Every structure is written in C-alpha cells, then in structure tokens.
Structure 1
Amino acid sequence: MRPVNAPHPETWLKVTPSGLYCEPGGFFIDPTRAVDRAVISHGHSDHARPGHRAVLATRETLAIMTARMGEGRAGETQQALPFGEALTINGVRVWLRPAGHVLGSAQVCMEWRGSRAVVSGDYKRQRDPTCAPFEPEPCDVFVTEATFALPVFRHPLPEAEIARLLRSVALFPERTHVVGCYSLGKCQRLIAMLRQAGWEGPVHLHGAHVALCRTYEELGVPLGPLRTATVAKKDDLKGAIVLAPPSAVADRWARRLAEPVVAVASGWMRVRQRAKQGGVELPLVISDHADWDELLATAAEVQAPEIWVTHGREDALIHALSLRGIRGRALHLVGRGEEDEGEEPAAA
C-alpha cells in the first residue's frame, strides 16, 4: 500500500514518555500527561487525561470528558471532528473512524507523505446499540490493543448473556440482581440491551452511574426509565436489576439489597475461577474489547503489513500475527488499562 518513496510510520510516529507522538503534526494520541495538542480516542480515563491545551476528538468524547472532568479541564480549547471528515495538521491528514468501544470512541487515522497509520485506541467488534460500530481502515501500520489476546478469550453473543440475566431474574423474583459494570460504556450498553430484550421496567443505578447515563441521553442515546438505587427501599428492589461499579457489588453497599444475586459483566468472567474468587454468583461474559478471533480478523481486514501492540497480551498476539506474515511490535506504552475492563482485576 505504501508508495516506495513514502516514509515508514516509525519515522514519524514516535513512542515517548507522554505517549504516541505524531512528530510532523506536533500532536499526541491519548497522551498520559498534559500536552499542548492531544487527539483523544475515547473518554476512559486511561486514554483521556485532564490539562491539555488543545483537544481534538469526536463531539461525544468531548462531552463525556467534560462531564467527567468538569468545565475547562478537558482541554483549554476543544475541536470536534465528525467521523470521516478530514483535516490537515502541519501537513498530516487526520480523520476519525468509529472504534465501537463506547459512545464517541474513535480510531485516529493519519497520513503523511503517502504513509498511513491508524491508532485504534480500544475497540470491539460485537454489536452495541449505544455506539457506532467499528470500521476497518486499510493502513501501513495498525496500532491495536491486546487486552484479551489469548485463545481462551472468545466472547459469547452478548444477547445470550442478557437472556441469562433475565432468566435468573424470573427464577428469583424475591431477590435483587446487582450487576457490576463500569460507569462509561458498559453500564449504558447493558441498559440498552435489556431494553431490546424486552425489559420495560426501571433499571436502578448506583449513584456513580447516574451522571454518565444522563450524558448519554443528552447525546441522543435513549435509556428508558432509570432510578437511583441508593434512595430506594429494600422491598422496592425485590426483583429489580441494579447496576453498580464492580467494587460496590462486593462491599457493604450491596448488603442493603434484597438477598442480592451478585453478577459482573466483563470479559474476565470467561475465567470462572476469577468469578468464584470475587464471589460472583452470575458471571456475564460481556466485553467492550475485541476477543482473540476478532483481533486476528481485524488484523486481516486492515491489511496492514505491520501491527503495533499497545497493552495486554502482546507476546501471544505478536506470535499469532507472525504466523500470518504480519510483523508485530510491542510498544509498551505506560498508563493503559486503568479503567473499564482493560486490566486484569487485582483481586484475580
């Protein structure tokens, strides 16, 4: 794909202590420290940090960053770039493609002097009613995560996992089902999938989940009737579904619920021993990251002869890519996997 005289992306896309830096463009992608110019792939805190002077991202990511960090902390100046619309920064053509991870999540696509690189951020390939699906972009270098890059991680259909949850609710109508899930992306996806599966009643939320659900609705994602679980009476939560941070389902907060059935929605629930160690009665394998097969399928779709791996199981993925004639390289970026399910739980 790359013309013979075009520079290799490694000559202009550099790994620095602050993160990936596009040298000719003068901007960082998902920097871990405050910088002058940042392009942000999505709103999770291991990718979106406060204090940058200028931030470029999708409209939804900018709104999520502001909701989480407060006015003025998500970039002194902000520029929204719609999917597929290109702009030129110091001679570097930049555009965004959907990553399918959470609302507003984007792949950062760059082209300089005929050389093209795509930084995918975090992504998934399964259907999600709350965000635009992943779109493969052919490139010379593709930068991928490797959170679930082991053959054991093959995610089931999320609709089947939601059906398991609803069957359990029907089987135990006197108990409260409390589902551990992260506040940005996973919470809203579960609500939308419950609605599509026919759950019309209210979904009760831990207080930590309320603000971002409100942001999603302001951005045009309907979630239906929501209630705050903290102020509800114990009897009112019998037969209810409560969504809470994973850390809350195992602490004193969950004990006030009516004989809670503890569930956790995460790709890590594929490993049953980890569910048992966490006291999870109903493990739901619902992930916002690509599984093993999806990582390899994506590598084939983007047609990149070289793939850089940012975090996760780099060695396994790089070996599998080499068997397919694709050169792999581990970037060892710091500060990734600190939020959502991007890092193996410490308790495991």
Structure 2
Amino acid sequence: MRIPKPESWVEVRPEGLYVRPGRFHVDPTRPVPKAVITHGHADHARAGHKAVLATPGTLAIMAARYGVEEGQARQALSYGEPVNIGEVELRLHPAGHVLGSAQVSLTYRGSRIVVSGDYKRRRDPTCPPFEPVPCDVFVTEATFALPVFRHPPDSEEIGKLLHSLALFPERAHVVGVYALGKAQRVIRLLREAGYDAPIFIHGALQGLCALYEAQGVALGPLLPALAREKEEFRGRLVLAPPSAIADRWSRRLPEPVTAVASGWMRVRQRAKQRGVELPLVISDHADWDELCQTLADVGAPEIWVTHGREEALVHHARAQGIRARALALVGFEEEGQ
C-alpha cells in the first residue's frame, strides 16, 4: 500500500487544521460540524461545534466555561485509547500543558501525524507529563521558540515569591495568573514548597479551582478575595487574573507587591511596561531547549509549526536535517492573554 503524503490528507483551512479522511478539524477557530480539541484554553476550545471529542478533563472544562450546548454530541476519550473516525485511527496522548491537555495522534494508511496542541516538558503537579510519540510529521507550537527563552526551574521562581513574602510581611503579594492551568499549578507548587496558609483568590479563579479539586487535584485552603477588610490581606498571597491587577480591584490590597507568573516575564521590558515588581518566569509552554529536545525525542523527519515564533524553530529543524515549514495558523493567543 502506498503511504500518502501528509499534506494530501491533513490541510490548513480557514477554520484551522482539517483531517480529510476523517472529516473533522483539530482545534478549529470557528464552529464546525466535528471538532477534536486538545485542551480547554479558549483559543483552542471554542463554543458552537456540533460534535466534540476530547479527554474527560477537557470536556469538563468546556462544560464549565460554555455549558452543555443543546444538540451537541460529546465524546470522551482517555489517553491512549484508540478510536476510528472514518479511515483515521485517532489516539490522545498527554501534553503536560494543563488539566486534560492532549496531543492528537492521527494514523491513516501507514502515515502518522501528531498534533501537539500546547505543551511543556517539565513536571506539573496538576496534570500528566508530556509523552513523546514517534511519528512521520510532528505539528508543534512555537510560543517560546527563540533561544532567549530558557525558563528557570519552577522551584526557584516559587522560592523568590516566598522570600519576598517573608521580606515584606506588611504588604500583600498579588500574583497575576491565567485562570486555567497557571493558577492551579502555582497553588500546587506553593503547597509543595511548604506554604500551607490559606490563599486568597479572585472570583474569576474560583470555578476552575473547584473543577480541579473535583478532578482530584488538591489545592489546600482557598479563600475568596471579596468583601474583606484591607488589613486581612497583609502578609498574604492573593491570586488574580493579570487584567485584575491593573484595575480598581487591586486597590483594596495594602501596599501590594505585584507579581505575574508567565514565560513572558523573561522579557524585562514586558514586566516593566506592566508595572510588575516581582516577575516570575513560570510558563505552561515549552521553552527553546525543550522545543528542540522534543523534535529529537519524537524523531519525526518532518515538522509543521502552527503558531508562535515559527521562523526560528523552522530554521533549527532544517539545520538538523528535518524538513520543516510554518503553517501560519491564525487565531491562537500568546500565553496569558
């Protein structure tokens, strides 16, 4: 049997990646009849699809964010479990990005393409680790695909936060975190570092923190940062979406030390522009070294880069003898936006 060329059965359409022999899209950016979703962030998991396939964790996140849409078919697929859609065998594998995140492995007539979704390689106490899957084509993100992006160990960044908390006991410490994934990961890292005091959280984080707890991720004591006296926040940690730090909400906090947990905090100018006093380089995406290591681990002779800093990763891959091209997909946001 002749093995088909990858571009003959997976193509870029205005809605995103389309798998022709299965008649479905992966992470489409607009409503489609059938969608396979890698994870629950809003730029990958949109509302309005007629049929959705994802991990149980991702389906739970989508239900929490969008509700259960009338007439929508929902199919849960566990990691490693095979399912045939048309002529395509599909499996989901851990991506290590957030709760429920998955890579999509597609096999058609002897050809295997793996779509990474968003991923990271370092340990995350809130989700299973990334699993390299050998393939013929690896479709990878490239959010931090520049050599300047080398993320420090998470323990160092959490140590910086706890040191500042001890150094300024009269001040509140407010940490900007993305509501899905980053908030829960930072909380778990704090708990592992020995911080067992209650953590105040913005209302926008409460629902997803409760969902993580329901999915078996213990977060310890959390308190709503609402309708409290200013003095209650002295010497305490407060987690909130980055956007809330810049508005009137944060004015209730006593002399707040402003922190943001993001891979973009590696860029000092970004931190300065946002008025961040304590930048924490904690990312839910692979850094440059991890991206390059992943290409070696999966061993694909060809890579496609979906979004991010595409040119640098394409150049690196070609220097390693790997065929590479940028897909220039639109509609995916930077981390923490």
TM-score bin (small chain): over 0.9
Instruction: String of CA shifts for 1:299-336, please: whole Å, max 9, x gaps.
Output: 01010011000111111111111110011111111101
Q: Trace 1:1-348 onto structure 2 (pairs within 5 A).
A: 5-72=2-69, 76-337=72-333, 340-341=335-336
* Partner SS for 1:248: helix
* Partner SS for 1:188: helix
TM-score, reference length from structure 2? 0.98
Instruction: String of CA shifts for 1:111-132, please: whole Å, max 9, x gaps.
Output: 0000000000000011110001
**1:287 Cα deviation after fit:** 0.3
Could you tell me which runs of 5 or more consecutive residues in structure 1 were left unpaired when the two chains were aligned: 344-348
Q: 2:211 is aligned with what amino acid?
A: T
Matched residue count: 337
* Partner SS for 1:191: helix
Q: Distance in 2 between matches of 1:335 and 1:257?
A: 35
* Partner SS for 2:244: coil
Q: Distance in 1 between matches of 2:227 and 2:67?
A: 25
**1:36 Cα deviation after fit:** 0.9
Q: 1:318 is aligned with what amino acid?
A: V
Q: 1:6 is aligned with what amino acid?
A: I
What's the Cα RMSD here? 1.1
Instruction: String of CA shifts for 1:239-270, please: whole Å, max 9, x gaps.
Output: 11001011111222111101100000000000
Q: 1:21 is aligned with what amino acid?
A: Y
Q: Distance in 2 between matches of 1:70 and 1:162?
A: 34
Q: Distance in 2 between matches of 1:209 and 1:195?
A: 17
Q: Distance in 2 between matches of 1:71 and 1:92?
A: 27
Q: Distance in 2 between matches of 1:50 and 1:106?
A: 18
**1:5 Cα deviation after fit:** 2.4
Q: 2:24 is aligned with what amino acid?
A: F
**1:106 Cα deviation after fit:** 0.1
Instruction: String of CA shifts for 1:9-56, please: whole Å, max 9, x gaps.
Output: 111001000110000011100011111111000000000000111100
Q: 2:192 is aligned with what amino acid?
A: Q
Q: Distance in 1 between matches of 2:207 and 2:228?
A: 18
Q: Distance in 2 between matches of 1:309 and 1:337?
A: 15
Q: Distance in 2 between matches of 1:320 and 1:91?
A: 34
Instruction: String of CA shifts for 1:72-131, please: whole Å, max 9, x gaps.
Output: 27x701110000010111121000000000000000000000000000000001111000
TM-score, reference length from structure 1? 0.95
Q: Distance in 2 between matches of 1:231 and 1:17?
A: 46
Query: Which stretch of the first structure deviates more once superposed, 130-139 or 4-13?
Result: 4-13
Stretches (4+) displaced over 3 A:
none
Q: Distance in 2 between matches of 1:216 and 1:196?
A: 16
Q: Distance in 2 between matches of 1:334 and 1:153?
A: 22
Q: Distance in 2 between matches of 1:267 and 1:327?
A: 28
* Partner SS for 1:247: helix
Counting aligned pairs with the same residue, the percent is 66
